[in-house]
Amino acid sequence: MSSSHDKPIIWRSPKGEVIACVEKNKVMSENLEEIRQVCQDALDDAVLMGCDEQQVRSVLNGLISDLINSYAPSDE
């Protein structure tokens, strides 16, 4: 089965420079696959329990939107 997560992502720095480090790209790829699998499991569980698929997708999207950058510079 082919899907959008099969395509390699070209990661970029905030300045637009390509992140070329093989290990960094490997970590990002592994992290995304773990996130995808956890989200897939949550969606599958929800649907099996009778929850509305679109509502679950909306909640998952909200979780991503609400993430906070732990390394953002402080305003102090």
pTM summary value: 0.80
Q: What angle do CA 29, 35, 37 make, to 5 degrees?
A: 100
pLDDT tens-place string over residues 44-58: 999 999 999 999 999
Model confidence at 3, pLDDT cuts 50, 70, 90, reads: low
Closest CA relative to residue 29, chosen from 8, 55, 44? 8
CA torsion, ordered 21, 3, 43, 60, to nearest 10 deg: 50
Domain spans of the chain, in order of start: 35-65
